[in-house]
Structure 1
């Protein structure tokens, strides 16, 4: 390549010309590096194991999630790290058993404001890890890992945040226009019991024996750190914010955590959606079904945005619930599993779980591998290549799905107050109300008895098995930290 220079060239011009000679061939030969995969977590709140069509429920209407399941792997033995919201989230966002850093309990109400209550800053989250790898990170929806300033999502690696900090929130601002609302009350007018219709759009119920929590007290909807008045039904607002994020960052790698507050109480449905379930006689159940339908529609719109922007093939998408459904509170079903939210039986900790990861796992299949939400962080570190700041407790989920034998005899541990459990392979021990003596533990064979109806703890044939599992739980328990709060 030859260039002719005249005497009017400045030193700057010569320098630019030489730079062009040196750089152009290198740029011409440089390969276009592929964009790293995006990561999308879609997390439902208090969704029961049996509340999706793809999970075998023929009554609910979840066409969008069911369609997604046909492109994904549906995992039938997927577990969370706790039977309720906050420690479950602490587990999958850090990739560590939350009790390792003392995150044992589920803060509610004013406890969320406590300056000592929240996810410790020294615990690295998926958001922090991916942020440091150059990703743009966002959280839309529920946080519930600390309401004080030290624990704000943007201090845990999220570049953008739209949502609320406590355990729950009403879906529209008071006076709840164009919705029908089911509220728990300790007492009803005129000493009545059961249900009391304040109006066609507001029903009080005393069936739980206590009041609805004060979800909105000192718990505003925030954009970043500033309160906003959100008029849209909150599931729709989540959809709007999530699709905007995906559209705005489509040319660069991103991580988006969509943390729905549906189908968590308070039970509050849009009237136009509620009309779709007019054949359901029970208004309690009808409101739940409508909330679930809007959650399903939201998931569909977010996935359609991925498709529309050409990002489906380059995005790891995971859908699951943070814990089992609270049946008496919301009508959620966890069948055929025993119990629900708050319990160490399967209904509290085994959840619906779908994963679509093109090129890594085969879509349209069902996996019976024993997996944990702890396995998400190791999958992401395997994808990026950088090490986590701390040792993770899970296994790369793609490896577990492809090679079920990797997890066939894995050990999963739980503890919360007096309740505890441990699963190893097909066997599980449960202490439903006290783990300080052997006679408080039960033993189940989950392969033959997934509903945990046949306690084998007193069987002489399983005495050695029981002893070994108890020793394993005690060994792991000694590794855990004292509760933070």
Structure 2
């Protein structure tokens, strides 16, 4: 519960903006933006909260008497510990559906953040039995956890349809990172890398949008987008105003999703690991990847989605341009609010070896 670690209080959240515009705002699931009371979701724009403050949780048990064992901390409802006996994924789905049903006559914003398929790998038999043909235990559990999530999302979408809310509800579905292949049996193939990397296996994730009657169904946007685009898309879609006193990093995707324009939403997209040891920039078909002390790598993602053929030596002008763009972008970022753990981890690894 370190008061130094959390989403800075000066940042304006999506529920902050929508709440001012008359929306009832609710969050269900994993917060992970500060466990100290001053960072609590209900102090960051949410009217209701059901979930847990940290970065992960056990799926079957919680201890209402502890706040020190992160994966066993109490499940909260509006800041108060509650006893929860249902499988966590199912409980989050239940609460999300309940929020929609309670507020079906109002304008609402729901932020549903499943813990699944994050570790620990746990699932009830009713989901595991669906994948008895998968011999590898980790893969079988991973599939079971995803199946529970899939059921929950389906139940929520069915609820919107049953309540005749589909045409009035903009839905985003996406993941925060690629699979941690070595940990839970996930596979990012044919992509290179995994969670925590700036290769495609770490940063390329599913991103689906639904708005019945407003967006064309079955359409694939051919140009890359990023989760930063959700804020400047949802705010005008909901009839609210974007903050005028700060730079908004993303773009409004509605003109691209509705077909008003077929231009790329972004000239470039950037990524950097938390410690700054690796960064990447995507410009059209080209992607540059570089480590802090290593040589730049360049890939043509249209021809080489697996990032196996380094073109840096053959395309020096592209490398120079993208390196300059990365340096400019990096210079505009705010300094980290807490220490970079990477040097200490590297030093510990050297001592161990």
> Normalising by structure 1, what TM-score?
0.65
Is residue 62–residue 74 contact of structure 2 (8 Å, CA) maintained in 1? no
Equivalent of 1:429, from 270, 288, 296? 288
Which residue of the partner structure matches residue 447 of structure 1? 302
Distance 1:387 1:167 in 2: 29
* Aligned CA distance change for structure 1 residues 214 and 428 (closer, same or farther; 3 Å): farther
Which residue of the partner structure matches residue 111 of structure 2? 257
Which residue of the partner structure matches residue 103 of structure 1? none
Stretches of structure 1 lacking an aligned partner (at least 5 in a row):
1-112, 176-212
Distance 1:237 1:254 in 2: 20
Which residue of the partner structure matches residue 406 of structure 1? 264
Equivalent of 1:167, from 46, 51, 55? 55
1:456 aligns with 2:302: no
Aligned residue pairs: how many?
A: 328
Which residue of the partner structure matches residue 124 of structure 1? 12
Larger radius of gyration: 1
Distance 1:304 1:387 in 2: 31
Q: Quote the offset at 1:391 in angstroms.
A: 2.1
Which residue of the partner structure matches residue 316 of structure 1? 170
Is residue 2–residue 35 contact of structure 2 (8 Å, CA) maintained in 1? yes
Which residue of the partner structure matches residue 249 of structure 2? 393
Structure 1, 333-342 or 473-482: larger mean CA deviation = 333-342
Q: How does 1:355-394 map to 2 (within 5 A)?
A: 355-383=209-237, 384-389=239-244, 390-394=246-250
Q: Quote the offset at 1:443 in angstroms.
A: 0.8
Distance 2:46 2:205 in 1: 26
**Poorly superposed stretches of 4+, deviation over 3 Å:** none
Which residue of the partner structure matches residue 341 of structure 1? 195
Is residue 415–residue 421 contact of structure 1 (8 Å, CA) maintained in 2? yes
| Structure with more strand by fraction | 1
Distance 1:374 1:347 in 2: 19
Which residue of the partner structure matches residue 32 of structure 2? 144
Which residue of the partner structure matches residue 475 of structure 1? 328
Q: Quote the offset at 1:315 in angstroms.
A: 0.3
Q: Quote the offset at 1:387 in angstroms.
A: 2.6
Secondary structure in structure 1 of the residue aligned to 2:3: coil
Distance 1:331 1:388 in 2: 42
Structure 1, 362-371 or 344-353: larger mean CA deviation = 362-371
Which residue of the partner structure matches residue 35 of structure 1? none
Stretches of structure 2 lacking an aligned partner (at least 5 in a row):
339-353
Q: Quote the offset at 1:174 in angstroms.
A: 6.7
Secondary structure in structure 1 of the residue aligned to 2:27: strand
Is residue 6–residue 35 contact of structure 2 (8 Å, CA) maintained in 1? yes
Between the two structures, name the one with larger relative contact order (CA 8 Å, sep ≥ 6): 1
Secondary structure in structure 1 of the residue aligned to 2:35: coil
| CA distances 1:203-252 after superposition (whole Å, capped 9, x unpaired) | xxxxxxxxxx95425x3211111111210001111111111100010111
> Normalising by structure 2, what TM-score?
0.89
* Aligned CA distance change for structure 1 residues 474 and 280 (closer, same or farther; 3 Å): same
